[in-house]
Amino acid sequence: MSQYTGTLARTLLVAGVATSLVACAATAPQTTRVEPAPAPAPLSQSALPSPSPAAPLEAAPVQPAPVAFRASAPLQYVVQPGDTLWGIASRFLAQPWQWPEVWFVNEQVANPHLIYPGDVLMLRVINGRQQIVRDATPALRVLRLGPQVRESALDDAIPAIPLEAIQDFLRNPRMVGADELARAPYIVAFADDQLIAGSGSPAFVKNLPAEGDYRWAVVRPDRAITDPDTDDILGYAATPVGGLEVREMDPVASLGRLTRSDMEARVGDRLVPINDALFEARFVPRAPDNAIDGQVVWIAEERLQAIQYQVVAINRGQAAGLAPGHLLTVKQRSRVVNDPHARGTVTLPPQPVGMVMLFRTDARLSFGLVLEATRPIGILDAVVNPGAVAR
């Protein structure tokens, strides 16, 4: 009897999904706005230009698009070690950034947005809506203290994106925002009046915050990265130099020690925090709330093109309403070609070439990981809301 009931429930659910898909196909097309070779000399403190104030941007809200489940969406999925939230959302949804619209939030579970290996995710109809729910059966991590509370460590939860793809960037920043660099600590001296030093050498550092990290990455700012729209300096490409640990704090010059060296450190080299901890890896993939129209301004390793799982920077940030977890479509910039039969040229419309998820945002600059790329992504390619039209 239970087998018959389960089969019947599964048949009804599949029929419900098919009916929803047919209804979506019959709906008139809607606007595709969605919701959510010597080394260079070190820069001196005075050589760094003050970052230009961010121009105020009007927040233009976008309208949600209908949620479409994949025809191949499983009725049940067991989360595996190594899964990412993006990968799971892609299993169920035609548009993975719509995950927040279909994930059922159980208020009886601590951190209900977090998903763990071993969790069983099921496609269910709740209050007339198709939603993805977590089966409460695997309760090994549950402690009954009044409301049901999950006791799993946060770092056991699956991340939104593959952490190994951004780990090197977090430990060895290769681009530093202008706002961050303007306030970054820097090496003022080594022992015995040396101008360069290697791993194990003591170093005196100025401008360290009174309360902050004791582990830092040492970088050497190089080429300025400018905003193609305004010519403002957004940041600097940076050469990783090594690492430094603070040993003794001092209001004038704190004492640290170089812990590793990718190259010899110099007086004037800058310090930026090492972000190899949990940082903000547990964000939820979603579309931005505001209309975004930006460009790729930098690709990791100083490459001219990016492919899947490479880091890029764009010329939009918190001032435009962006935050970690936001997904953007990358569109190849317009090309002008000669018309073979008529005099003149033809401007080809921008074509989608990939998808980027942001994992770090500054005021005017954001860093993202290329999750999908149908062809190489280039500098000045457009980044827009998923489904939006690039300029």
Please tell me the CATH superfamily of domain 293-384, with its number.
Answer: FlgT, C-terminal domain (2.40.10.410)
- Position 189, amino acid: A
Alpha-carbon distance of 21 to 95, in angstroms, equals 14
Helix (H) or strand (E) holding 256: strand 254-261
User: What is the mean pLDDT, run by run of 10 residues, along the chain of 391 residues?
Assistant: 41 40 38 40 44 48 75 95 94 92 80 89 91 72 42 69 86 89 95 90 94 88 95 95 95 94 96 68 86 96 93 97 96 91 92 94 94 96 83 56
Q: What does the chain come to in residues?
A: 391
| pLDDT confidence of residue 156 | 82
- CA distance readout (Å), 246 to 187, 208, 284, 388: 12, 9, 34, 47
Count, in order, helices (H) and strands (E) of the chain: 5, 24
Domain map (residue ranges) of the chain = 2-30+63-156, 173-273, 293-384
- Position 299, amino acid: I
pTM above threshold 0.85: no
Residue 149 β-bridge partners: 143
